[in-house]
């Protein structure tokens, strides 16, 4: 746990510097429109998370996997830089997509890609779809204090546990770094937050976790089963993105460029939960899905698909139930992070 501890210390120590730098440079999210915070909030928290993860990886001992580790770092650095630019000046969605596809191509170049018994082109397409999808899912999830960073910590902990069980050194080392960095950042980002992660952090976090989900392997089980593991571990952002896309398509608006208060977190607040209760509930959901994923990694195909079908049915039922409730006016208790939407 040396890597996790180092990342935690670096994040705790580095976030105040990122906050001061953001205020000095004017890199802040100002109150406006759908945003409920009343004072400008610093946006460079993601740089502290990035620095903590990268700094902790200097302790990574497994040199034989350094090429793949470097590929993940290069791709993650690229999307983090992209997010930093988007935070400050804005970036056209098409350019963001092209840049994220390029980052995914870096992973493929170093041998990190989906490995289902399918033609190569199909595995490459699924890799790019997964990387771009999860990267943006964490960006969308960053809509409430402590939500994206906390869910990221839970997912990293799950990947760390399963990687340790299967002697996956690259995954365990990188997951430990992400876990420590997210927990250190949560000291300042949990409600009431004093700094936001911004796109530079949420895109970085999503990309790294997407790469970990692909890289994690289970030699004792078939790939037709183990593909479910990262989907379940990252089930909270997957569910939230699916809910938002379905809801916005039903309303006839672009699901990727139209901001709104239609995320699962916002809907739970409208049902009477407080911000903290919602965030903690979604942490708990992530833990539950991680436990299910751990069981699936050891299950037979019949058991695994039965569980996955049940999870999908429950998720669809939740989407239908949430969609049937009329979107009312947002109460004043919500505290949006303001940077999770495009």
The three-state secondary structure class of 190 is coil
137-191 pLDDT tens trace: 999 999 999 999 999 999 999 999 999 999 899 999 999 999 999 999 999 999 9
**Spatial distance between the Cα atoms of 73 and 241, rounded to a whole number of angstroms:** 25
Q: Using DSSP, how many helices (H) and how many strands (E) does the chain show?
A: 14, 2
**HSE, side-chain direction, 13 A CA sphere, residue 239:** 23
The three-state secondary structure class of 156 is helix
Residues ≥6 apart with Cβ < 8 Å to 13:
none
The pair of three-digit structure tokens given for residue 304, joined into one six-digit string: 């695994």
pLDDT higher at 257 or 7: 7
SS3 content of the chain, % helix, strand, coil (to 5): 70, 0, 25
**Spatial distance between the Cα atoms of 44 and 207, rounded to a whole number of angstroms:** 18
DSSP assignment letter at 227: T
Contact criterion met (CB below 8 Å) for 149 and 205: yes
The three-state secondary structure class of 78 is helix
**Strand stretches in the chain, DSSP E:** 28-29, 41-42
195-207 pLDDT tens trace: 999 999 999 999 9
C-alpha angle with apex 152: 150 to 156, nearest 5 degrees? 120
Domains of the chain: which residue ranges?
2-324
- With cut-offs at 50, 70 and 90, classify the pLDDT of residue 342: very low
* DSSP string of 279-310, one letter each residue: HHHHHHHHHHHHHHHHHHHHS-HHHHHHHHHH
Contact criterion met (CB below 8 Å) for 75 and 205: no
- With cut-offs at 50, 70 and 90, classify the pLDDT of residue 31: low
Phi and psi, residue 28, nearest 5°: -130, 155
Identify the weakest region by mean pLDDT among 40-44, 207-211, 323-327. Answer: 323-327
Model-level pTM greater than 0.95?
A: no
């Amino acid at each position: 746990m040396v890597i996790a501890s180092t990342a935690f210390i670096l994040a705790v120590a580095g976030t105040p510097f990122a906050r001061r730098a953001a205020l000095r440079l004017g890199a802040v999210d100002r109150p406006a429109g759908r945003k409920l915070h009343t004072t400008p909030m610093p946006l460079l928290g993601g740089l502290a998370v990035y620095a903590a993860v990268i700094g902790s990886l200097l302790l990574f001992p497994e040199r034989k996997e350094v090429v793949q580790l470097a590929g993940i770092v290069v791709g993650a650095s690229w999307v983090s830089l992209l997010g930093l630019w988007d935070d400050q000046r804005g970036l056209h969605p098409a350019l963001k997509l092209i840049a994220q596809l390029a980052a995914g191509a870096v992973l493929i170049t170093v041998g990190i890609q989906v490995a289902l018994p399918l033609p190569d082109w199909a595995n490459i397409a699924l890799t790019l779809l997964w990387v771009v999808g999860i990267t943006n899912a964490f960006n969308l999830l960053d809509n409430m204090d402590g939500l994206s960073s906390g869910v990221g910590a839970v997912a990293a902990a799950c990947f760390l546990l399963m990687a340790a069980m299967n002697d996956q050194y690259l995954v365990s080392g990188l997951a430990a770094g992400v876990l420590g960095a997210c927990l250190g950042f949560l000291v300042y980002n949990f409600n009431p937050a004093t700094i936001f992660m911004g796109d530079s952090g949420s895109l970085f976090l999503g990309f790294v976790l997407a790469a970990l989900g692909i890289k994690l392997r289970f030699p004792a089980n078939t790939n037709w089963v183990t593909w479910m593991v990262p989907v379940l571990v990252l089930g909270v952002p997957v569910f939230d993105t699916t809910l938002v896309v379905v809801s916005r398509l039903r309303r006839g608006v672009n699901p990727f460029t139209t901001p709104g208060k239609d995320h699962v977190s916002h809907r739970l607040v409208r049902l009477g939960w407080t911000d903290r209760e919602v965030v903690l509930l979604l942490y708990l959901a992530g833990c539950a899905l991680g436990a299910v994923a751990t069981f699936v990694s050891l299950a037979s195909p019949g058991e695994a698909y039965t569980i996955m079908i049940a999870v999908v049915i429950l998720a669809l039922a939740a989407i239908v139930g949430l969609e049937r409730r009329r979107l009312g006016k947002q109460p004043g208790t919500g505290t949006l992070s303001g940077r999770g939407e495009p």
